[in-house]
Every structure is written in structure tokens, then in C-alpha cells.
Amino acid sequence: MSAATARLRVGIAGLGRLGKRHAEALAFGTRHVELVAACSPVEAERDFARDSLGVERLYADFDVFIADPDMDAVVLVTPTSLHADQAIAALRAGKHVFIEKPLALNMADCERVLAVAAERLDQVAMVGFVRRFDPSYVSAQASVAGGEIGRPFLVRSQTCDRNDPDGFFVRFAPSSGGIFMDCSVHDIDLARWLLGRPKALRAFATGTIALHPGLADCGDVDNGLAIVEFEGGARAVFYASRTMAHGHETSTEVIGTAGKLLVGEHAARDRIVRSDAHGVRHAVLADFHERFQAAFGAEMAAFVAACRGDAPLTLTLTDAAEATRIGLAITRSLHSGMPEVV
């Protein structure tokens, strides 16, 4: 960027389920940003960027996209298996880079990205752990860090999606790393954040297939449970589900020696409680995007602020690599049936 007041020229790669949402926000809803380029191998997705977002520079090939000289930053919303190579290419091309979670599906890839980022400290590299930007989680973390619940020693956190009868995630499973790397990685990052970044020692996991037998082909489950032990005695329990009947339900409980906090219980869509002859109830959130829409905006604003030099990031690549390390140990345990060293 030529001046601190200039708009950050952003390109986006990946215009799928989440990429479209990020692209719309970058085109119409993010301050100090101009969405100048988009990349997808799918023609219909490039058409969407041109027709709905007014993006003129469209690329089918990532290598050509990343060489675009009139782009300050890139946002990667591509399949997880591509994140590491694309992030490295972006950094080497001199761009700031936002990488959707998880950073990568193995530690070697995480370390390759960290090594290149370490050589380029003037460039921002951020992984999209969106819950760190949700107002309720921000407030809960500040309370815990301020000592409100004494010494936090246990986190129970879940990511539960409404069942998708079309089974999008069954097709997605080979590149997602499985339910723990795809869903619980958010809870893993939250647990580390809320517990003060303790070192993870050991993990145990189990799971079951309730509705989607196709997942067995890649060793995945549609409902998974995990326990992680941390140095110093803290523990975390994670639950992830793809098969909720009612809606999306992300919630996190953090328990300390002087109290506990609970974020996000009941998946309520609004503040209306309906009482009638059928009982007392409220409408539920449809999906992660409805739950975290504001957080996605705050997350991108934080990335842009860091790129402009307005505010530093507190979420580091090392945090993202640690989340992958723990997610991998959990996934190994799911497959081995035994506790695994993290």
C-alpha cells in the first residue's frame, strides 16, 4: 500500500461455501478495503465475482493470481489441503495473507509456513479462528484472564452442526482432515486461549457414525468426542457433531476455582421465547455463519487493521500450529483407539 490512508487492495482465492461470504463482505462491508481480484478454478464462481461483486481481475490459476502486482493482501478460503502451499506462495509474492482455519493438516506444512513468515515479519499472516472475534467469547476471555473465575482448569466446548441430508461434508471430508481438524479445531484454539496457552500433553478420542456411512471410507465420524490433558492439570473436553436435528449449536463452558462461564448455550436465534400449548421454545440458529456473522466481520477488520499497521494481531501462527498439533493427536487417537501423545 502506498500510504496509510490508501485502501488495502485484496484478492480472494476460493469462492465456495465460505469464500462467497468473505468475498461479499470484502466487496461491500469491510472498511479500508478494495476487493480487486478473485481466483477460482470454477467458471461459475468467477462469474459470481464479476457479476455480483464487480471484481474485474479474475483468475482460474492460483499461480497467475498470486503474481498480480496490484494486490497488497490475499484471503485464502480454499480447501484446507491447499492452505500451506498457497500461504507460502502469497508470502513469497510479498502479500499479506489471511488463511482460513485450520492452517494445515500436518505439522511439516505448519512449520514450512511459520519459517517463511518468520523471514517476512513486515507481512501479516493470520489464521481465521473466528470465535476469537465473537463479542461473547472476547468478553468471556477477558473475564477469565482478569481472574473472575479464579484459576481456570476445565474447558468443555462443542461445535454441533445441523444435519445436512445432502452430506456436503462427506464429499468435503477427504480434504478437511476429518471432524476434529475441521470442527473441533475452533474449540481447541478456544481452550488454549481461555486456559492461558498451556502445553498439551495427551489426547484421547472416540466417535461414531450416526447418519452418514460414507464417512467410513476416509476413517471419519459424524459425531466425535475428545479429551485433552494439559501441563499443570488443566483439561479440555470437546464434542463435535454433524447431525443435530434442531440447528447449529456452538457452546463453551470454562470452569475455574471461583466460578464458571458458559458461552452460547441453547443456540437461540433471537431473544424471543414462545410459550403456548406445545410448550416453551425459541427458534434456533441455522448454521455457523448465522451464529458468527458479526465475528466474521470483526475478524476481517482485525486482519485489515494489522495489514495497515493500525493494530497488532494477538492471534499468532504459532497458536494455529498448536491447534493443528492437538487436532492431529486427537485424530490419531480416534483411529488407534488409544491415548496419543500430543
Chain residues in the site for ligand NAI (CB under 6 A):
13-19, 39-42, 45, 62, 77-80, 82, 100-101, 128, 130, 182, 288
For residues 11-30, one letter each, b for 16 or more C-beta atoms within 10 angstroms of the residue's C-beta and e for the rest, the string is bbbbbeebbbebbbbbbeeb
Residue 238 Cβ vs ligand NAI, minimum distance, rounded to whole Å? 15
Angle between helices 83-92 and 107-118 (to 10 degrees): 10
Residue 80 Cβ vs ligand NAI, minimum distance, rounded to whole Å? 4
Instruction: List residues bridging with 257 in a β-sheet.
Output: none
**Residue 112 φ/ψ, nearest 5 degrees:** -60, -45
For residues 64-89, one letter each, b for 16 or more C-beta atoms within 10 angstroms of the residue's C-beta and e for the rest, the string is ebbebeebbbbbbbbebebbbebbbb
**Residue 294 φ/ψ, nearest 5 degrees:** -65, -40
Residue 145 Cβ vs ligand NAI, minimum distance, rounded to whole Å? 23
Q: What is the CB neighbour count within 10 angstroms for residue 219?
A: 12
Residue 14 Cβ vs ligand NAI, minimum distance, rounded to whole Å? 3
Q: How far is the C-alpha of 281 from the C-alpha of 284, rounded, in Å?
A: 9
DSSP state of 165: T
* C-beta nearest to ligand NAI: residue: 16
Query: Please, which residues have CB within 8 angstroms of residue 249's CB and are 6 or more apart in sequence?
Result: 158, 160, 264, 266, 267, 284, 285
Nearer to ligand NAI, 62 or 230 (CB): 62
At 340 the three-state DSSP class reads strand
Query: Do 206 and 127 contact (CB within 8 A), yes or no?
Result: no
Nearer to ligand NAI, 109 or 182 (CB): 182
Q: How far is the C-alpha of 164 from the C-alpha of 34, rounded, in Å?
A: 34
Nearer to ligand NAI, 80 or 157 (CB): 80
What is the edge-to-edge ordering of all strands in the sheet holding 223-230? 259-263, 249-256, 152-162, 235-244, 223-230, 200-208, 340-341
Residue 129 Cβ vs ligand NAI, minimum distance, rounded to whole Å? 7
Nearer to ligand NAI, 84 or 155 (CB): 84
Residue 102 Cβ vs ligand NAI, minimum distance, rounded to whole Å? 6
Nearer to ligand NAI, 171 or 282 (CB): 171
Residue 333 Cβ vs ligand NAI, minimum distance, rounded to whole Å? 21
Nearer to ligand NAI, 28 or 168 (CB): 168
Q: How far is the C-alpha of 77 from the C-alpha of 22, rounded, in Å?
A: 8
Cell numbers given for 340: 496419543
Nearer to ligand NAI, 223 or 250 (CB): 250
At 27 the three-state DSSP class reads helix
Residue 263 Cβ vs ligand NAI, minimum distance, rounded to whole Å? 16
Residue 289 Cβ vs ligand NAI, minimum distance, rounded to whole Å? 8
Nearer to ligand NAI, 288 or 303 (CB): 288
Nearer to ligand NAI, 65 or 153 (CB): 65
